[in-house]
Each structure stands twice: as C-alpha cells, then as structure tokens.
C-alpha cells in the first residue's frame, strides 16, 4: 500500500488508545488523521488485556475520563455496528481488615463527591450477590454498580471502524523508522512504506512508546512487566452477570467469561521484561506459562472461591503490560518536542481508560492544551532522572507491587532512594530528619526527637509523627524555623524582551521595579491556572522564577511553549545552581540581622522585595516572601555555599531557639493561612476568580496576557464555584481531601486539601462550594455545613478569610 504524502496528524499504534485517539480526532475535530500500526490492530498488548472497566480514581478529572469510557462503550455498537462486549456487571471490592474498610469508606465518600453511587455492603450482602464466594474473613465490601467489563479487541475494532467512518485512514503492517525534525518539531514521519509530512504526531505505541519516543529524543518512562491471568473452564453455579471482583487484600481480581472465570493478580514480587528495546516482532506473542510464579494467586483465589479447586484451567495468559513509576498513565505533549503527543503506559488500565483517554488526548492535540486538569497523568510530571532505565525499572516494580496495597495517606516510595540530595542531607539526618522524596529530591518531612525512631509508621488515623509535627508547627509560629527547600525549581529569564515575554505569560503584573517580586498565576486560554509561582526582578533584563519541586518540567515547558515568537529572551533552568533556605517565624529578622551585611528591617527590606545580601561571606538572593504566614525570607544560596550559610544561621539563631523544620509542618502552616496549593486547591480547571485570587490578576492594566479574554468574559457573571475554608472541631476526624461538603444537607462540593491546624487546634480543609445558579458571599455564609468523612457526617464551619494571621488572630469557635 502507498501512504499519503501528508497528513495533519499521524497516530502511531493500533491498540485501544491509538484507535480511540484517531476516532475522536476524526469524529470530534474532523481532522485529517492517519493511524499507523506495525502489525495488525490490537496485536500489541490490547488483545491479551483482561478487560475490567473501573471508573473511580482519587482525581475528579481522571474519574471523569473513566466515566466517559463507560458512556462511550455503552453506545459504540449502535454507532459502528460492531459489538464491544460491554457488560455493566458492577464491581465488588472486598475488605478483610479495618484499615482497608476505612480506605473503602473514604473511597465511597470520594465517589459521592464525584457524583457516583458507591455502596458499602455487609459480608451477608456480598454472599447473596456472589454465592460461590467465601465471605467469612470479610469486614465488608464496596459496590459500584456502573463498573463492568468488555472485550478489549472488540472495543478496539469498533473504535477503528468508527474512526474510518469519520474519515480517518488506518494502515496496518507499516513500521515507523524515524522522524525528520527541524527547529524542535517533527516535520516528517519515516516508515517502511515511505515518508509522511505532518503537523503533529501522537505516540500511542504501547510498550514500544519508549523507543518510538527515543527516535525523536523524547523520554517516555515506562517499563514492560509480565502480567499473568488464567481463564478457567466452566464454573458450576456461576451467574453470567456475576459482578467483577477485586480482592486487594488477597491481591487478586475475577471476572466472569463464558461461564468460567478470568482470574489474575498483582504480586509483590513482579517480573519485569526488559530494560532494553521491546522486539519489533512481538505481534500476538506471549511468554511461557509460569505456574510457579502464579501459584501465589491460585492459593488466594481458591481460598476466596473454593469451587476453583475443582475447575480446570482453559488457558494462561502471560503477556507484557506497560507500567509507569507512579502507577499513573502518560498523556500530553512531550517537553522535548512541541508537536509529539504521548498516550501510553496505562498500567493494565488501558481498557478502562481507553475511551476517555482518546477523547482528552484528541482535544489536547487539537487545542495544544489539556481540556481538563490532567496533571496526575501529564508526561511533564517526569524529569531527567526518568531517563535512567534502571531507576524506572526499580520504581515501577515497587508501584506494581503496591497496586492492591492499602493506600495510606502520606505514604512514600522507597526504591531508588536517595536519588538527589541537597548538601545539607547529612546535617539534617543528624537532626533526626525523616525524609520524603519529590521528583527524586530527598526532603525532610519531619524531625524525630531524641528517643524516637526516625521513620514513618503509616496509619489510617493519626500517624506517629502527628504530635512531633505539631511541635515544629508551633515553633515556627512562636520562634524561628529553617526549612531546606533546595528542591524548588528555579529558572532565569534574561534578555531585552524578558519583561515583554513575562507580561504575556503571567496573569499578575511583573513589570515592577528592580528589587521587587510578584506572586502570579500562569493561565490557559480558558482562564484556568496552569502554574502558580513567584517572579523576582533582579535587573532590568533579568528575572528569577521560583516554583514547586514537582512542577519543574511542567512549568518550564509551559513558559517555553508560550513565549511569543520573535522575542529576544533566554530561558534557563538553574535549579541545581542554588540551594534554598527558608527562614521563617517571628524571630527570623533577629537571626538574619545577626548575619546580614544590610538593613533587614521592615523599612529597609519590605515584604515582596528581593535583595542580594552577603551571609557568611557569600552573596545570597534573599526573597521576602512566605508560605507559612509568618515573617520570613527565602534565601537562595549558591549550592556550593549552602552548608556554610546553614551552619552560620544555626549558630546565629541559637539564642532565638532556631531549629530545622520539615514539609509536614509547612503544610499545616499554609493550611491555617489559606495559601493555595497548585494541583490540589488550584488547577487548570479553576480560575483565579474561583480560587479567590482575582486580586493577583492585572485586568485593570491595559496589557494583554494569556487567559485575559476568558477572564474578561467571566467578570460580569456570578461564580459557579468558590474556594472556601472549613474547620471541624471533632479531634478524631482525619481530613485528607475529597471529603464531601454538605450545605443544609445537600452536596455542594468536596475538599481539595485537608489537614490539621495546630495553632487553631482544629481540622482544616479547603474546597469549592458549587452552585449552577452562582455563588456569592451571602450564599456561602448563609448555610449550615457538614463534611462527609469516611461516610460519616460531621459538623463543619465555613470561613472566607484566612484562619490565622501573624498577630495571633484565630478562627472563632
């Protein structure tokens, strides 16, 4: 077959993700799209997928993506004439211990927050629904009736037919061999059947996505892992509409298939395939059966469904599935190449995700920005460290092994650590630091006092660090603490047009005099918040940008992608050039004054200013800014000098009781002050108006900026949602986020973040109150509020102002 010489969009890969993306590009956007498959459709990993379709995730946007999949699969046969094998059997998730039961009660609350109906069942109700099941060890189960199962190959073929019906071309038995790249963009796709000029490329190559990306210099950090399941002979007494089962405490899953059962699981000792390239010739191939490795699942499955002991195995499937280092799939535009998009690494959720992932990815490709808050799956959550295939392998196997473990709040990964440490690592360790990890950086979460073991003990209730973090929190409120925040992502923008570029990208006014800094959001075309950072003007043509650790690739990419053409600017990542020490607390000025070579009084160094000062013989960029609600400075120190400066501050601060403080205290401090966290309280789904950040938008200035038109269109309208604070007096309650907000008994939203305010002595949460007719302060304050926490209602109080100020004002009881 001869390929066309040009296509607007080339999709690589004919599994469910590629076919869904091509279908949505053709159906929704009338795009000129061609899909290339190296074998035949479904021949990679789609054909041997188990086909379970679940919908609930901890992210509202990803849950919406999965719900879309279900809605699509329900109606696809009517559109294309090809069956999908969709059966809405519902799904039972089994709990055999109290921690798991608490997790399910929280999940059921999350489901209701997201508009889904999840029920909690007794063991007797489970037995009535699934008579063949042994339920003697159950505490209970969750039941989501709209989950189900489908035939992966049938869905994919149906999507492919739908794509063709809407004008897409699909070519099988053609292999991509490379790309012609000019100015950071792919201009042509090279294949075994000739070259295709194109505008955009979508890499949906499944387990080959990593090496397809590598042809364009793009890193797709996934790892093929061997995943086994069996298909049994007929199981006497098994209903054809039996619900799918997830039995996480036994690490197994079940679904009915032609009178028998499909049964598989997620073992704690998974078997990777290869850290090298996946062979091109792997169509419809499997690994040899490995009953020795699978035996652990058989033992657990027979204990749960005793009838399996007398049922034969019709077939074992042992095939590779693409998994990722954090268990979330990969979508979005690659940071290394502005017109290659990726949809891969679906962690055995490709069938459940396929319909919705194709929908949002197609929209992303056409618009150039994600249509929803898709941060948890955005390829730009990764960084350079994810090019290390051994590290990716180790972390991915740990994530696979946690697939069915209890999701304790604040749980940290352990593999591949330490990866990146600040020069203070050993010093902080000596102070009892218990480290967490963020984008490879080791960061102190809390400090264990003498006599206490320096490690996290996970729990569904208050964890072992709770009171210790409270001590750190109070110390910052009353004296002075020092935080090692060296992991902050830091960039410099320089050049004659640097201000002009930032004026377009930033929602707030960064055109302030040299020596000033600005807190600002970066907005998308919908007015949604794509980033939240500070911009300090060091010189007329030099700006210093600081953002969160995990957003390093994302924010740098967003800025670079949206620089107006033709400007004389240079953007540089300087993260490793500077360490950051945050000196915070009412006595911070006294400590700094003891060392600094300049006036650090309020008049000499006001809030919102930046100065270069000398500390312990080193020039330091000092930013007067706070994320804890106290007097303080971020001190950006040349990385080679941070140890010296830290030691000097600790010595100078000794008379004032200085001590190192961790990120857990930072979180509780910011919650009390009402500072927003990007990715939780503010996201691309939320505008500054929604989030109470309208004051940080330069609409009064006659300057165009990205997102301005969307905000102007909203100016005269009532907000449909508003971020508010909530407090709960009950000390036994633990807020973690996604708890349902009730106003006068009716659900109006859910918490985006939650924790404990030690100064206030109360649980603190933030969340959006929503109403289609609009919300104003009268509506917000005119209701009685409760939060639903693990399916239990508890009284709550709403707050529209910060709960704490440095003068010591506290929330009224």
What is the rounded distance in angstroms from the CA atom of residue 355 to the CA atom of residue 342? 15
Q: Which whole number is the average pLDDT over 591-610?
A: 96
- Summarised one tens digit per residue, pLDDT across range 467-520 is 999 999 999 999 999 999 999 999 999 999 999 999 999 999 999 999 999 999
In this structure, are strands 529-539 and 517-523 parallel, antiparallel, or unpaired? antiparallel
For residue 742, is it within any domain?
no
Residue 665 lies inside a defined structural domain of this protein:
no
Paired strand residues for 558: none
Tell whether 109 and 162 lie within a shared domain: no
Residues 60 and 160 in one domain: yes
pLDDT > 60? residue 813: no
Q: 157 and 71: one domain?
A: yes
Average pLDDT for 598-625:
97
609 and 641 belong to one structural domain? yes
Beta carbons of 562 and 554 less than 8 angstroms apart: no
Query: Strand 441-447 to strand 223-232: parallel, antiparallel, or no bridges (unpaired)?
Result: unpaired
Q: What is the mean pLDDT of residues 308-331?
A: 95
User: Domain end: 552, 573, 594, which one?
Assistant: 573
Contact 732, 702 (CB under 8 A): no
If asked whether residues 359 and 504 sit together in one domain, one would say: no
- Per-residue pLDDT reduced to its tens digit, 296-305: 999 999 999 9
Give the pLDDT band (50/70/90) at residue 805.
confident
What are the tens digits of pLDDT across the range 659-674? 999 999 999 999 999 9
Q: How large is the average pLDDT for residues 283-305?
A: 94
Q: Is 496 exposed, middle or buried (0-12, 13-18, 19+ CB in 10 A)?
A: exposed
| pLDDT at 262 > cutoff 70 | yes
Direct distance between the N- and C-terminal alpha carbons of the chain, in angstroms, rounded to an integer:
75
Range with the poorest average pLDDT among 72-86, 204-218, 774-788? 72-86
Sorted by sequence, the CB contacts under 8 Å of residue 91 that are 6+ apart come out as: 52, 54, 143, 144, 147, 148, 243, 244, 245, 246
112 touches 120 (CB < 8 A)? no
HSE value, Cβ hemisphere, 13 Å, CA-based, for 271: 14
pLDDT band of residue 85 (cuts 50, 70, 90) is: confident
Instruction: Note the helical H segments in 674-791.
Output: 708-714, 777-781
Instruction: Output the pTM of the full model.
Output: 0.96
pLDDT band at 275; cut points 50, 70, 90: confident
Please count the residues of the chain.
813
Q: DSSP assignment of 432-444, as one string?
A: TEEEEEETTEEEE
pLDDT value at residue 808: 54
**CA distances for 668 relative to 130, 150, 412, 449, angstroms:** 45, 44, 18, 19
> Would you state the pLDDT for residue 306?
97
Across 62-71, 132-141, 648-657, 740-749, least confident range: 62-71
User: In three state form, how does the secondary structure of 542-554 look?
Assistant: EEEEEECHHHHHH
Same domain, yes or no, for 210 and 262? no
The packing angle between helices 663-673 and 466-478, to 10°, is: 60
Mean pLDDT for the chain? 95
The three-state secondary structure class of 464 is: coil
How far out from the chain centre does Cα 117 lie? 24
Provide CB contacts within 8 A for 761, sequence distance 6+.
none
**Predicted pLDDT at 563:** 96
Residue 396 lies in a domain: no
Domain annotation covers residue 257 = yes
The average pLDDT across 730-751 equals 96
Judged against a pLDDT cut of 70, whether residue 1 lies above it is answered with: no
Residue 729: both structure tokens together: 């007096």
Overall average pLDDT of the 310-325 stretch: 94
CATH of the domain at 642: 3.30.1360.120
DSSP 3-state assignment of 412?
coil
User: What is the biggest distance separating any 2 CA atoms in the chain, rounded to whole angstroms?
Assistant: 84
pLDDT value of residue 23 = 98
CA distance linking residue 668 with residue 754, whole number of Å: 9
At residue 311, the pLDDT reads 96
Strands 570-573 and 489-494 turn out to be antiparallel
Contacts of 388 (CB under 8 A, 6+ apart): none
Chosen domain end from 381, 409, 425: 381
Cβ-Cβ contacts under 8 Å for 609 (sequence gap 6 or more): 515, 516, 517, 624
Rounded to whole angstroms, the Cα distance separating 76 from 155 reads: 8
What pLDDT does residue 368 have? Answer: 95
User: Could you tell me which residues come within 8 angstroms of residue 158 by beta carbon, excluding any fewer than 6 positions away?
Assistant: 76, 77, 80, 82, 83, 84
Q: How confident is the model at residue 151 (pLDDT cuts 50, 70, 90)?
A: confident
pLDDT of 788 strictly over 80: yes
Residue 729 located in a structural domain:
no
Whether 809 has a pLDDT exceeding 50, the answer reads no
If asked whether residues 563 and 522 sit together in one domain, one would say yes
Distance CA 234, CA 258 (A): 7
* pLDDT (average), residues 4-18: 95
Q: Report the candidate in 498, 461, 527 with the shortest Cα–Cα distance to residue 688.
A: 527
Quickly state the pLDDT bin for 812 (edges 50, 70, 90).
very low
Which residue is it, tokens 């708890």? Answer: 739
The more confident residue out of 274 and 532 is 532
Residue reference for tokens 């600002």 = 520
Residues 121 and 267 in one domain: yes
* Helical spans, DSSP H, in 178-336: 209-214, 291-304
Q: Cβ distance 563 to 571 under 8 Å?
A: yes
The tokens for 53 are: 């379709």
Is residue 268 located within the same domain as residue 252?
yes
Distance CA 252, CA 56 (A): 18
Pick the last residue of a domain from 573, 594, 618: 573
Of the given ranges (149-153, 551-555, 792-796), which has the lowest mean pLDDT?
A: 149-153
CATH (domain of 116): 3.30.9.10
Q: What is the mean pLDDT of residues 528-550?
A: 98
* pLDDT single digits (tens) 339-349: 999 999 999 88
Does a structural domain hold residue 350?
Answer: yes
For residue 44, the SS3 value is: coil
Sequence-separated (6 or more) residues with CB below 8 Å from residue 809? none
- Sequence-distant (6+) residues with CB within 8 A of 428 are 435, 444, 447, 484, 660
Range of the domain at 632: 578-657
Which long-range contacts link 770-779 to residues 24+ away (Cβ below 8 Å)?
A: 770/720, 770/721, 771/720, 771/721, 772/720, 773/718, 774/717, 774/718, 774/719, 774/720, 775/718, 775/719, 775/720, 775/721, 775/722, 776/718, 776/719
pLDDT band at 150 (very low <50, low <70, confident <90, very high): confident
C-beta neighbour count of 236 within 10 angstroms: 10
Claim to verify: residue 566 and residue 585 sit in the same structural domain = no
Determine, yes or no, domain membership for 72. yes
Where are the extended beta strands (E) located within 90-175? Answer: 91-95, 119-121, 140-144, 148-149, 169-172
Give the 3-state secondary structure of residue 728: strand
Residue 557 · residue 375 · CB < 8 Å: no
Kindly report the backbone phi and psi dihedral angles of residue 455, in degrees, each rounded to the nearest multiple of 5, phi listed first.
-155, 155
Asked whether 77 and 85 are in contact (CB, 8 A), the reply is no
The pLDDT, as a whole number, for residue 43 is 80
- How many separate domains does the chain show? 4
Q: Look up the CATH number of the domain holding residue 524.
A: 3.30.70.1400
What is the pLDDT averaged over residues 761-788? 97
Residue-level pLDDT at 44: 80
Q: Do 331 and 369 reside in the same domain of the chain?
A: yes
Q: If you ran DSSP here, which 8-state letter would residue 154 be given? A: H
In this structure, of 268-272, 454-458, 483-487, 807-811, the range with the lowest mean pLDDT score is 807-811
Same domain, 377 and 239: no
**Domain assignment present for 595:** yes
pLDDT range class, residue 750, cuts 50, 70, 90 = very high
Percent of the chain past pLDDT 90, that is, above it, reads 91
Query: What CATH number does the domain containing 215 carry?
Result: 3.50.50.60
Residue 397 above 50 pLDDT?
yes
What token pair was written down for 1? 């077959």
């Amino acid at each position: 077959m001869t390929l066309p010489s040009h296509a607007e969009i080339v999709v690589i890969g004919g599994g469910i993700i590629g076919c869904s993306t091509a279908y949505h590009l053709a159906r929704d956007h009338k795009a000129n799209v061609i899909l290339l498959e190296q074998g035949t459709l479904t021949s990679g990993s789609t054909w041997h997928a188990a086909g379970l379709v679940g919908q609930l995730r901890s992210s509202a946007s990803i849950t919406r993506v999965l719900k879309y999949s279900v809605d699509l699969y329900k109606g696809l046969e009517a559109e294309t004439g090809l069956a999908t094998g969709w059966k809405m059997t519902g799904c039972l998730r089994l709990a055999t211990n109290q921690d798991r039961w608490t997790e399910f009660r929280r999940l059921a609350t999350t489901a209701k927050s997201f508009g889904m109906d999840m029920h909690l069942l007794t063991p007797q109700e489970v037995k009535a629904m699934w008579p063949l099941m042994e339920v003697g060890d159950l505490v209970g189960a969750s039941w989501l009736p709209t989950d189900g199962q489908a035939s992966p190959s049938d869905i994919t073929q149906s999507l492919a037919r739908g794509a063709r019906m809407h004008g897409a071309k699909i070519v099988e038995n053609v292999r991509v061999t490379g790309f012609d790249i000019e100015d950071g963009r792919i201009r042509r796709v090279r294949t075994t059947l000739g070259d295709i000029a194109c505008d955009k490329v979508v890499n949906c190559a499944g387990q080959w996505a990593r090496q397809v990306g590598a042809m364009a210099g793009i890193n797709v950090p996934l790892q093929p892992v061997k995943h086994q399941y069996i298909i049994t002979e007929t199981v006497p007494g098994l209903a054809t509409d039996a619900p799918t089962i997830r039995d996480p405490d036994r690490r197994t899953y079940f679904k009915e298939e032609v009178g028998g059962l499909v049964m598989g699981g997620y073992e704690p000792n998974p078997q990777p395939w290869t850290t090298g390239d996946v062979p091109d010739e792997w169509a419809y191939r499997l690994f040899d059966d490995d009953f020795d490795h699978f035996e652990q699942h058989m033992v657990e499955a027979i204990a749960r469904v005793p009838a399996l002991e007398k049922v034969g195995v019709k077939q074992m499937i042992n095939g590779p599935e693409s998994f990722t280092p954090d268990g979330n799939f990969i979508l979005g535009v690659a940071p290394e190449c502005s017109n290659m998009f990726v949809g891969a690494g679906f962690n055995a959720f490709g069938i459940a995700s396929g319909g919705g992932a194709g929908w949002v990815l197609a929209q992303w490709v056409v618009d150039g920005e994600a249509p929803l808050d898709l941060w948890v799956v955005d390829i730009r959550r990764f960084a350079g460290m994810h090019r290390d295939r051994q590290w990716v392998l180790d972390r991915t196997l740990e994530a696979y092994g946690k697939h069915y473990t209890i999701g304790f709040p604040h749980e940290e990964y352990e593999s591949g650590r330490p990866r990146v440490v600040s020069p203070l690592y050993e010093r902080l360790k000596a102070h009892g630091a218990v480290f967490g990890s963020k984008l490879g950086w080791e960061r102190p979460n809390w400090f264990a006092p003498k006599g206490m073991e320096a490690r996290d003990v996970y729990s569904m209730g208050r964890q072992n660090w709770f009171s210790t973090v409270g001590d750190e929190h109070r110390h910052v409120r009353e004296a002075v603490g020092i935080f090692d925040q060296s992991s902050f992502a830091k960039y410099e923008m320089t050049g004659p047009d640097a201000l002009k570029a930032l004026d377009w990208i930033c929602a707030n006014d960064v055109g302030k005099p040299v020596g000033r800094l600005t807190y600002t959001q970066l907005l998308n075309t919908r007015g949604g918040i794509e980033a939240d950072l500070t911009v300090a003007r060091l010189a007329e043509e030099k700006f210093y940008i600081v953002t969160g650790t995990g957003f390093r690739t994302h924010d740098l990419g967003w800025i670079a992608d949206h620089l107006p053409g033709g400007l004389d600017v240079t953007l540089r990542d300087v993260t490793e050039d500077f360490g950051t020490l945050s000196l915070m607390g009412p006595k911070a000025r006294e400590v700094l004054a003891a060392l600094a070579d300049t006036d650090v009084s309020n008049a000499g160094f006001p809030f919102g200013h930046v100065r270069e000062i000398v500390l312990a013989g080193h020039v330091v960029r000092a930013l007067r800014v706070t994320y804890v609600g106290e007097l303080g400075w971020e001190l950006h120190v040349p990385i080679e000098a941070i140890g010296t400066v830290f030691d000097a501050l600790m010595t100078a601060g000794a008379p004032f009781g200085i001590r190192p403080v961790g990120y857990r205290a930072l979180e509780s401090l910011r919650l009390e002050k009402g500072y927003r966290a990007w990715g939780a309280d503010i996201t691309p789904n939320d505008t500054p108006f929604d989030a109470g950040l309208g004051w940080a938008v330069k609409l009064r200035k006659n300057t165009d900026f990205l997102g301005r038109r969307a905000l102007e269109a909203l100016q005269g309208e009532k907000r449909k949602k508003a971020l508010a604070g909530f407090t709960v007096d009950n000390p036994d309650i633990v807020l973690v986020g996604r708890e349902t907000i009730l106003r006068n008994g009716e659900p109006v939203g859910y918490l985006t973040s939650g924790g404990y305010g030690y100064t206030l002595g109360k649980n603190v949460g933030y969340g959006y109150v929503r109403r289609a007719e609009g919300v104003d302060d009268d509506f917000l304050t005119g209701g009685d509020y409760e939060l639903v926490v693990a399916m239990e209602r508890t009284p709550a109080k709403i707050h529209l102002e910060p709960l704490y100020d440095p003068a010591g004002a506290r929330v009224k009881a």
